[in-house]
Structure 1
Amino acid sequence: MSSKSSPLLVSTGTVLLLLTTVLYVAISHQLTPRLTDGRFHIENGEWIPFTDTLPPSDTPQYLDLAFVLQLNPLHTRYYQLIADDCIEALAVNEQLIGEGVIPFCDLSRGRTFDLGSAIHSGNNVVAMTIQNVGGPASFTWRIAWWDPLLLSLRILLLAGLLSGAVLIAKGLSFSRWQNLFFGTFCFGVFLRLFYIFATSYEVRAYDADGHLEYIRYVAQHLALPSVRDGWEFYQAPLYYMLTGLWLHVGTAFGRALPILTRDTQWFAFFASVLTLAGIAWIATTLFKPKEKLERVLFFGSLAVLPSLLFLSARINNDVLLFLWEVLCFGFLIAWWQKGRWITWWLAIAMLALAILTKTNGLLLVPAAFTLLIFKRKLALKTKTFVGVTSVFALILLTGWIFTLRDGMSLDQPLVVNTGNLSPGLFVNNTVETFTEFNPLRMIVRPYNNPWDDASGRQYFWEYFFKSAFFGEFDFGLALRPLASAVLTCGLLMLLYAVCGAWMCIRREGLRTLPLWSTAGWLLLGHALHRFTTPHSCAQDFRFSLLVSVPVTFFAIRGLHFIRSPFRRLLGIVVVLASIVLQVVFVGGIIVTM
């Protein structure tokens, strides 16, 4: 930063950011419809009240629904309707809607309707018939993303945030490279903002309703459930306590359940932004000030990685776990580099929060204590004292979730519900499934399918690598060529990462121990989890998201060790191409939705 910094510009930019955010929240709250007085009946049976769930069925059946749609004076006119499974009829204020469109069956996109002539401010009576062909029944009623009023509001939000960011950058008088680094952070935030705008909670989710059930239980009872009473109830409680408390307070103030569900997504967004800031901090500690290009390439690669981006709209404990893991990792690096004990204890605090959020955080315990064991210029007596004290602190802070919770005991697996997974997810444990890594097979079939061997789901490393970009989801034929290109660049970056890791171990040794030690422990733990829980879904990269940080570091570090100017330039081009392709891919996801 220059000495020409302007506190006035920084203050103005900050106020603009806050004011824009507050106005967006206030106006969007006014636009959000409320669904109340819901009732349903089956085949002319009695009317039964419902709030957010409908009864499942083993056989096809029709459900007649009625509810009140409450609208404020400022409201939208275009609404998207999605049902599981089909919409057979729809009327608003006794006016038939969707002639020529209804009936329809489309669980992914549903249909969008212009209700401008049928609705008014106040109470609107909606009648609907849903066909459930079997299994769960549900419907989603939300504002269409391209409604002119909502779209204008979001454009104003983006303009205000962008203006505030520019004012802050101008006020701090950043250098060219600092502007590029700050711009990368802002771009990552805006990309996440676009993503959450376009993504409802059930899209690219992992049992979102199960996690919502946990959150709602905590909100209603202000207590933790028995671990056996729900599919996700065995999970560590911190995420559910925080979101459940917000749900409890919001309900007390009359905030509607759909709005509170959306609030939970915004919780994920803000956690994702804080995580992005943590990664930016790590970039400044791993790369020297003169390594400006390396910092930007490292940060940019992680800012657009789809598996990290998907967290910004997701409802599950991964969103909070990754934040604690990144902060813990950052403090461990800071302690390793400078030896300040405050950073060690902050790392232990973040580690405890990670374990309290999800038991995957336990994999960072051996990573942290490996650093303590190999720390130079530290007496054995000091190491022993710090190690024992740290273990005692972790047990004191987290041990209760393994012993004192209702239904939890030390003689059961950490992941309680694995015994109830579908047999269709089972994969074999063989030498081939843990050693094969076929780039051509991955490029030809870039998407994972946890149910189909033809996708390569039985090969641990292939599934793991592909899920770093695409999770377990199929994004369709239109995006498949782009997905293959993303994987191709990722595979080329992996070559540089292998080179960088090898050269770091050989030439820099213990200086980069936090990177390769953490990556090693996380990968080993994930492989053991897959071995002991032989299901395709156990291979997903989301269980080891922190691996992305050291692997990306080694890929960028590999460029530094390459002597050939051509190969170094080629590596830079590959990294830049990877960033661009991933941005285009995410844009394609948003557009196709």
Structure 2
Amino acid sequence: MKFVKKFPEIVIALAMVVMAVLQYAGGSSISNVLFHRGGSTTNELLPISTPMQTGEPFTVEMDLNLGLAGTFELNVHPDDCVTGMTVNGVVFPHTNYPGYCSWNQGFTVGSDEFKRVLGPKSSGKYHVVFEMHNNSGLGGITAALSTHGVLPAILSVAFYALLGLLVFMVGARLRIDKRLLFCFFLGLLLRVGYTQNTFYDERGHDVGGHIAYIQTIAEKHHIPGDKECWSCYHPPVYYVLSAGSWSLAKFLNASPFSFVQWLDFIFSLVALGFGLACIKALLYGNSRLIAGLLWSVWPSFLLASPRVGNDILLYAFYAVSLWGVLNYLKTSKGQFLITAVVAATLAYWTKTSGAIAFAAIGVAVLVHFVPRVFTAKPRKLEWVSIGLLVVLGGWIAFLTLTNSVVANAAGNDNTVLVTNSPGNFLYFDLQKFLTNPYIDPWHDELGRQYFWNYLAKTSLFGEFTLLNTDAGKWFACLASFCFVILVGFTMAGLWRKKWNRVDVVLVTQMLAFFVSMIALRLKYPFSCSNDFRYIVPVLLSVLPFTAEGICGDGASVKRRVCGWTAVVIFAVSASIVVLGA
């Protein structure tokens, strides 16, 4: 009992394990997936995607196990066309569902429809057979079960309630600011909710190329050449780590796509946690809460959490690198600068745009280390870190200047070409930004021609149309309106704050991000070249000034109330749009 009283966190963790086991035992699943093609049958894991001849027929069958669920929806994405569907031997009217011949749209069948068609043959288990044919390219299918029930809901709520309690108890033991713990827990819940309801290739970018890269490493045991797949020009760090996850899934006879997705989720928590650690080093009081809350719920950051691709690991290394820089400025300890340099190097070898992380390190050395050479005696470890910076930074600078940043740019569709006149960079169309809930790379009427319109809107919801209901459009436009207000507070924070060495580092990194985006758009004149996903970590340089603009020294009550109102409405609206997608 003394042990329990001294370490109640262990009891809570054990209770969570019990909840998780019960959820798993009573959970729903799709099993016994059989793929019939050309007279042969193989056992498969979803999703199925394989090269086929145009018009080639094939059949996929599977069992649906509902567990403790009361109701469910079966979400199906055929590649490309369902020509027949039977459930427990009963023919299903698949043509009633728009999307039965569309991989992108897909279709959903609910439990009520199963019961209506099957009648007495309806039960807790269903054997589903899809007769299909391929239209072109890859052929296959993916499907997922969304289930609902009182007992699973109770177990889920209990699990996350215990998780929240555990987070705050561990945080209290480690003396972590409760405001930051709240931000982390909120960010965790949002990411779990979004990841659970997102297909591996949903709202992604070049997912097929990323999967091919991962699969090559995992199954052929070599780093592919630049032209071996669409995404193979990227540096290998993310893909090597993901290949380990892929191989583990294969060993456990689980879906490798899901394992890679949840690995990305873990990377997103690393980025979230180290980002909050940076905010802790920069701000105090309510300013810390504002910046932490915005970092945790920022929609484009949230959208990247389960996305198959190297973006999210890049964010994690950026956050670690900036954390090292901030702690070096605070303590003058070389180990923090070494951490920053190593993380920046890994960021570059995750994605070439990671080279920008060296901007903050270089400025930190100029404003902190160089003056100390003349006024104090730097420690030996500091000199080691400077040597490491010179070697690794010089090497990466050489690689960046001598290699193409986007090696597959020539393969982009001409429909995403945009104009690069001065007006495209100097003008911001406020009317289009506020009245159009979303933006995409193809339609001028949404604002894609204007650099700042595209960058700002993709900073919210990427290039995607998310919650496309009337209410969803309202929430998206409301988030856009609050975004404009927050930009105003950011400008006020930049103007009013008395800058110190840390602020110089943040502003330099901020400018480096924005200049790199302008350069990318000028070199590759495609609308998608200035997608905000490339520079999400710039938020760690921007949000401290946003918070200072709202509740910095001398802020009036009116300014604080207006700022907090904009922050809360933005957080709620953006979260609804993303989770409702």
Fold shared, TM-score > 0.5 on shorter chain: yes
Q: Is the 8 A contact 1:437 1:461 kept in 2?
A: yes
Q: Is the 8 A contact 1:62 1:129 kept in 2?
A: no
Q: Which residue is 1:271 aligned to?
A: 267
Q: Which residue is 1:585 aligned to?
A: 574
The answer on 1:20 being equivalent to 2:20 is no
The aligned amino acid for 2:445 is A
Closer, same or farther: CA 153–206 of 1 in aligned 2, 3 Å: farther
Q: Secondary structure at the match of 1:130?
A: strand
Q: What do residues 360-379 of structure 1 show as CA deviations (whole Å, max 9, x unaligned)?
A: 11111233112212325322
The aligned amino acid for 2:570 is L
Q: What do residues 505-533 of structure 1 show as CA deviations (whole Å, max 9, x unaligned)?
A: xx324341121011111111121111111
Choose the corresponding residue for 1:378, options 369, 372, 377.
372
Closer, same or farther: CA 386–189 of 1 in aligned 2, 3 Å: closer
The answer on 1:213 being equivalent to 2:215 is no
Shift of 1:72: 10
Instruction: Give distance in 1, aligned partners of 2:197 and 2:559.
Output: 38
Closer, same or farther: CA 271–9 of 1 in aligned 2, 3 Å: farther
TM-score norm. by structure 1 comes to 0.84
Closer, same or farther: CA 165–368 of 1 in aligned 2, 3 Å: closer
Q: Is the 8 A contact 2:341 2:389 kept in 1?
A: yes
Q: Which residue is 1:346 aligned to?
A: 339
Q: Summarize the alignment of residues 501-580 of structure 1 with structure 2, pairs less than 5 Å apart.
A: 501-504=494-497, 507-560=498-551, 563=554, 565-569=556-560, 572-580=561-569
Q: Secondary structure at the match of 1:313?
A: coil
The answer on 1:33 being equivalent to 2:30 is yes
Q: Which residue is 2:60 aligned to?
A: 66
Q: Is the 8 A contact 1:9 1:171 kept in 2?
A: no
Q: Which residue is 1:298 aligned to?
A: 291
Closer, same or farther: CA 562–295 of 1 in aligned 2, 3 Å: closer
Closer, same or farther: CA 487–104 of 1 in aligned 2, 3 Å: closer
Range that drifts further, 105-114 or 453-462:
105-114
Q: Which residue is 1:111 aligned to?
A: 108
Shift of 1:306: 0.4
Instruction: Give distance in 2, aligned partners of 1:418 and 1:39.
Output: 38
Q: Is the 8 A contact 1:91 1:97 kept in 2?
A: yes
Q: Is the 8 A contact 1:222 1:245 kept in 2?
A: no
Shift of 1:139: 2.1
Give percent identity, aligned residues only.
20
Q: Secondary structure at the match of 1:28?
A: helix
Q: Quote the RMSD (CA, aligned, Å).
A: 3.4
Closer, same or farther: CA 391–69 of 1 in aligned 2, 3 Å: farther
Shift of 1:477: 4.4
The aligned amino acid for 1:342 is Q
Shift of 1:67: 3.6
Shift of 1:281: 1.1
The aligned amino acid for 2:529 is A
Q: What do residues 387-406 of structure 1 show as CA deviations (whole Å, max 9, x unaligned)?
A: 4432314567x799x6xxxx
Q: Summarize the alignment of residues 110-509 of structure 1 with structure 2, pairs less than 5 Å apart.
A: 110-114=107-111, 117=121, 126-130=128-132, 136-146=138-148, 151=153, 153-165=155-167, 167-168=169-170, 178-253=177-252, 255-256=253-254, 259-287=255-283, 291-375=284-368, 377-379=371-373, 387-394=386-393, 412-475=403-466, 476-478=468-470, 479-504=472-497, 507-509=498-500
- Structure 2 unpaired stretches of 5+: 116-120
The aligned amino acid for 2:84 is A
The answer on 1:53 being equivalent to 2:49 is yes
Shift of 1:580: 3.4
The aligned amino acid for 1:267 is L
Q: Secondary structure at the match of 2:349?
A: helix
Choose the corresponding residue for 1:90, options 85, 108, 125.
85
Q: Secondary structure at the match of 1:502?
A: helix
The aligned amino acid for 2:416 is L
Q: Is the 8 A contact 2:237 2:350 kept in 1?
A: yes
Q: What do residues 397-417 of structure 1 show as CA deviations (whole Å, max 9, x unaligned)?
A: x799x6xxxxxx985512211
Shift of 1:425: 1.0
Range that drifts further, 444-453 or 136-145:
136-145
Q: Is the 8 A contact 1:56 1:135 kept in 2?
A: yes
- Structure 1 unpaired stretches of 5+: 1-5, 403-408
Q: What do residues 527-552 of structure 1 show as CA deviations (whole Å, max 9, x unaligned)?
A: 11111111111111110011111111
Range that drifts further, 367-376 or 270-279:
367-376
Shift of 1:99: 7.1
The aligned amino acid for 1:310 is L
Q: Secondary structure at the match of 2:212?
A: helix
Closer, same or farther: CA 145–224 of 1 in aligned 2, 3 Å: farther
The aligned amino acid for 2:108 is R
Q: Secondary structure at the match of 1:299?
A: helix
Instruction: Give distance in 1, aligned partners of 2:567 and 2:139.
Output: 40
Shift of 1:74: 8.2
The aligned amino acid for 1:250 is A
Instruction: Give distance in 1, aligned partners of 2:214 and 2:573.
Output: 34
Instruction: Give distance in 1, aligned partners of 2:43 and 2:53.
Output: 16
Q: What do residues 32-51 of structure 1 show as CA deviations (whole Å, max 9, x unaligned)?
A: 3335441235xxxx558695
